[in-house]
Structure 1
Amino acid sequence: MSSTELPGIATSVAPRVSAVRIADGESLRTCVLPGLTLNVRSRPGARTGLEPALFVHGLGGSSQNWSALMPLVDDLVDGEALDLPGFGDSPPPDSGDYSVTGHARAVIRHLDASGRGPVHLVGNSLGGAVATRVAAVRPDLVRTLTLVSPALPELRAQRTAWPTALIAVPGVAGLFAKMTRDWTAEQRTLGVTALCYGDPSRVSEEGLRNAVDEMERRLQLPYFWDAMTRSARGIVNAYTLGGQHGLWRQAERVLAPTLLVYGGRDQLVSYRMASRAAKTFRGSRLLSLPDAGHVAMMEYPETVATAFRELLADSSRS
């Protein structure tokens, strides 16, 4: 993979549907590149001169997924979280490429254009697969790698993950959209929360309201289901790739110090994959959270922040 396109410039673009929530201390900007526009959420470091970090969300998520973790490490890194193409407030890519490689190329192009690399790269789920690929093919852009429930290939996916994989089947997403057209945004949000959290009761009332508002906003986007379907298909296709392009083979080539975070109640990425990942990523460290689900950085942000701090402290000494 290469990133030889001319870098673009960052400009401000008004939200296209409704306002995106911005937490205190955050700001949004739009990075415009040829054929690609990315919404970037910034959490500046508490002081100047801190090393940069980039956070990448999972399937169906957005940069808001990192709003709980970023303020806990803003004394350590200068943070940015981007919305992958077609998610959050980033429009679809002109190429229509929602593959893992396509998303990885978007991350690389952003880093090349911004000149922020090497960064402390953090990814969750789909974002974890994307971050793995970026770290393997562009080691010059990655200082450390943190993966929260990364979507790496499983030979026997657990049954609770099957419905998500089925979205990738042509026609299924459209059928599901018709079957659920009467569902409210709150019903959809509660369903996603039950799937992604180890303990949904940990979501505060304010957090639930914010999630419902975001769901309502996304459902108005004309490309919502297309982005979901094609990105899910991209994950499935990545699982079938063999040889040097396989994600596990690329994981073996990652040189950056790596932190792996797995939840014991994860219904989408099997907890049993933690052992394989720890053996594959050379010199990696593993944080196991028995009560966490798929989004540990949202359920247990303090614990994840502590492990992240330890990773950076140790890597700076080596």
Structure 2
Amino acid sequence: MKVKGVQPFMENIKVKKQWITYKGTNICFQAYKEPLDSNKPYMIFIHGFLSSQYSFRKMIPLLIEKYNIVTIDLPPFGDSDRLTRFKYSYVNLANIIIYFMNTKSISQAYLVGHSMGGQIALTCAYHYPERIRKLILLAPCSYLSKADRFSYLISWLPFFPYLLKGLLYRKGVYETLRQCVYNESIISKGMLKTYIKPFLDNAIYLCLTKMIRDREGDLDSECLATIEIQSYIFWGKKDEILPISIAYHLVRDLPRAELCTFDFAGHLLPEEVPNVICERILDECN
């Protein structure tokens, strides 16, 4: 199914930032449109590490006619709270998705997860298979072990958050984005302004430090083999963050997975190839 361009739809989409509270942490989300249409299936978007719901802005207009779309800022990113008392494990982050669904009386949803968000989508499917209709995985983080003992111990040092801040500042937002895309000409001033915003808040470095300690390893092959949900995996062959070899491993481990690759795309697929991905979603998920 061919999808229309982004621009004609953007002016008609009504959206506002809203919040729910999960275990004392305010979680920002956006629902397109309000009120949600009970006759449409729900599609929940889960962003990646150092990102936010902003990263899906090109995909939403292409799918809004067929789905109730919800995007969520996972803490400590986007406009959600940045609190050191929050447990930044994948299971706890996945529980936010299920908690949101329970709060909004959503019995089932399609999950679209990019990078770290893909691993969280897989975690939802592993623990709550009855709540997930299908998985759309955009270069999902996979087979990453938990932090080694040295990283865990050094993260307790008082200066570590400042070291982390220095490393991220030294690389810079532009260079980080450039590494994530194949066609760097798509990097705009708007992208730079939005992606840098959370890192102007010093609290995020304390949270990222805690995430090193809280994050468990990704689901292993044995766990993945139990996920019977239909999964569509998308991957760029020019991905410098997560190499394409991971995709071939993942599609073997997931019992009901299909892989679609892009010859000239990097890691940030929602920014680089939204139209093609949305065409496939509309073809396979309707």
Query: 1:276 corresponds to which residue?
Result: 249
Q: Give the partner amino acid of 1:238.
A: G
Contact 1:131 1:145 in 2 (8 A): yes
Contact 2:51 2:195 in 1 (8 A): no
Contact 1:168 1:232 in 2 (8 A): no
Query: 1:138 corresponds to which residue?
Result: 128
Distance 1:293 1:168, change over 3 A: farther
TM-score between the two structures when normalised by the length of structure 2: 0.83
Between the two proteins, what is the percent identity of the paired residues?
A: 17
> Per-residue deviation at 1:229?
3.4
Map 1:1-318 → 2, pairs under 5 A: 24=11, 25=13, 26-44=15-33, 48=37, 49-92=39-82, 95-153=85-143, 170=155, 173-178=161-166, 188-203=172-187, 208-232=188-212, 234-235=214-215, 237-239=216-218, 246-313=219-286
Q: Secondary structure at the match of 1:292?
A: coil
Structure 1 residues not aligned, in runs of 5+: 1-22, 156-165, 240-245, 314-318
Contact 1:61 1:87 in 2 (8 A): yes
1:180 and 1:146 mapped to 2: Cα distance? Answer: 29
> Per-residue deviation at 1:264?
0.6
> Per-residue deviation at 1:307?
1.4
1:73 and 1:255 mapped to 2: Cα distance? Answer: 25
CA deviation string 1:50-74 (max 9, x = no partner): 1111000000000111111111111
Contact 2:82 2:204 in 1 (8 A): no
Aligned residue pairs, count? 266
Contact 1:51 1:77 in 2 (8 A): yes
CA deviation string 1:209-266 (max 9, x = no partner): 222322453133232212333335555x414xxxxxx343332222221100111111
Contact 2:84 2:207 in 1 (8 A): no
2:57 and 2:27 mapped to 1: Cα distance? Answer: 17
> Per-residue deviation at 1:127?
0.5
Distance 1:116 1:32, change over 3 A: same
Structure 2 residues not aligned, in runs of 5+: 1-9, 146-150
Q: Secondary structure at the match of 1:303?
A: helix
TM-score between the two structures when normalised by the length of structure 1: 0.76
Distance 1:195 1:73, change over 3 A: same
Query: 2:148 corresponds to which residue?
Result: none
